[in-house]
Structure 1
């Protein structure tokens, strides 16, 4: 049977802001609105309030503790700060605009300031020396920083199992992931998905094959948007570190489901037949009156694809599309492990009809 699949094309855009400078002095920044700082998706409290003036985000030097392993020492007599990290050190003096660290000269976007006995530096400088990514949301006045730790996840209750992003683009889309078990890395170059504050991989360690041994399951989000959500799933044998094949929903739909959509007398009727089950027929009453070419001739699948695991059961939920903006119901696929792979065990359909 020929069937339509709605292609998912999601573009995740991010507002990136640069920072500029403002003069140094010992003074109060109370007149400036405090900037919220989030590191790795969590709001953090700093030893002094960060602030923005003339486009420059200024933060206390002590924020470096939250980005990297560093030792920071304050010399009250000379009013200087000495920072040691990665076997290297540098000194900050109020008023300086250049810092030499690890053989590189950094031109600060604004001079170091001493504000209420706190050494303040441009956030971009700390982001750069700690190898963290940074963006500033001007509208919400939130500074976001992401460390390398953010791109490594640990399986719940299994500290010996970690998932690590291999390559991350500027939209936080990951291509390739490394499975680390007891310190040994196993690359899976074909895995990909979102890795940001909204969507990160879901990791499960459960007995999915009913053999008394646990497997690893990783569910990734490939893209999302209005009326669109596409996920995929990978299951790995934790003993030989090989991925277990999973029958694709496309093959299952092609093999087990026939459907038609008819428009007559102002009514749109969906008919769906699952292999070896009785035909299901229902009317999309809320969409009566639309022109016939508004609807497909048969249901399409691919715009909404969820995978989930419940008590060791792998299942999928597929949105059944009657048009580019209309869903008639859900197809649920329950999988079983057989012959070295996961195959469809039970397929069912539930309409959205009230």
Structure 2
């Protein structure tokens, strides 16, 4: 189920008003069925069962996907699931659902009441949540919730494993639609919790490193997350954790460090653009860059800009940030590579060098900076 359909299904779930039709039906007794959500026992009250060939699961299992307030009208046999987005109303015996923006939806079977709990066909769970069901001959029914689950249980599979030490793992604590809310870091026999909120991009998973990036003789866990991407934009967020005490180490972003380590000026001289650079820090260097055939009417910056495209990585025991320098909106001339070291207030870049300069730029008086 694609993301757009899943989002629409979420609106359906929180807005649907189930029509009142037949009276409750009697159901057959069944053997115990183990209901799992993402590999863990479901928290919903009620025992799944088969009626004929149709598997029924408790309506309260929807709480594994969307937080709600539950109300039961015993006289009318109606369950109401209220949230900040609206309400879902289920009536025992009803098979027809009416959804805002989608019209009528016919369930594969009527809603049933059994032993004080309300049930609906498991087949229809995908329509409402985007989740998939996997069954086996042992009586297990596993709901694979994908991006829609808001379960607070720790998933059994990590989303990142450190290449330097496969025992260092990162787990999301809460999946909430397109976001991760909270993480658990597993390292050195410890399970450390952090309240990081990160967008969820399945095709750009987090990276996890384990190296002594601050030079204290003990390895740190370095988690790198993609927080946004698009034309001319690639943003990452970094978290460095001292496993020995569980504290997070502050990391100065490269665009902030550039205010101290990179001095620049940009001037349009006729049809030529002149860029003067003074790279400071541990390995200082002065460069003069020139671009012929510049655009006279283009709105160039007066100095190099940073923050549009940033990549973090760990090489050996060094934390490195590659930040593209721009001379106009999404007009990048090359990568400024910042190498970090420990400072009085955490990790700060101690040096910077220019790499991957575009072909239109020449370096006056010396060789062009090399690529990676």
- Tell me the TM-score normalised to structure 1 length: 0.61
Check if 1:110 corresponds to 2:107.
yes
Per-residue CA deviations over 1:98-132 (Å, capped at 9, x if unaligned) read 654679987775326xxxxxx99233478399675
Q: Do the aligned partners of residues 96 and 187 (structure 1) sit closer, same or farther apart at CA in structure 2, a change above 3 Å counting?
A: closer
Which structure would you say has the larger RCO, counting Cα contacts within 8 Å and 6 or more residues apart?
A: 1
Q: Secondary structure at the match of 1:281?
A: strand
Q: Secondary structure at the match of 1:251?
A: helix
Per-residue CA deviations over 1:304-329 (Å, capped at 9, x if unaligned) read 11111112211011111111031111
Residue number in structure 2 paired with 1:89: 47
Residue number in structure 2 paired with 1:331: 336
Q: Secondary structure at the match of 1:121?
A: helix
* Residue in structure 2 matching 1:230, options 235, 240, 250: 235
8 Å contact from structure 1 (residues 282, 353) kept in 2 = no
8 Å contact from structure 1 (residues 320, 327) kept in 2 = yes
Structure 1 alignment gaps of length 5 or more: 1-12, 21-61, 71-83, 113-118, 136-143
* Equivalent residue pairs, number: 270
* Residue in structure 1 matching 2:245, options 224, 233, 240: 240
Aligned partners of 1:278, 1:340: CA distance in 2, in Å? 26
- Tell me the TM-score normalised to structure 2 length: 0.59
Q: Do the aligned partners of residues 87 and 330 (structure 1) sit closer, same or farther apart at CA in structure 2, a change above 3 Å counting?
A: same
Residue number in structure 1 paired with 2:313: 308
Aligned partners of 1:162, 1:176: CA distance in 2, in Å? 14
Residue number in structure 2 paired with 1:289: 295
- What value does the CA root-mean-square deviation take over the aligned residues? 4.2
Residue number in structure 2 paired with 1:156: 162
**Residues 1-354 of structure 1 correspond to what in structure 2 (within 5 A)?**
14-15=4-5, 16-18=7-9, 67-68=38-39, 89-94=47-52, 100=58, 110-111=107-108, 121-122=123-124, 123-124=126-127, 127=131, 133=145, 149=155, 152-153=158-159, 155-156=161-162, 158=165, 161-166=168-173, 168-170=175-177, 172-181=178-187, 185-189=191-195, 191-275=196-280, 277-285=284-292, 288-292=294-298, 294-339=299-344, 341-350=346-355, 351-353=357-359
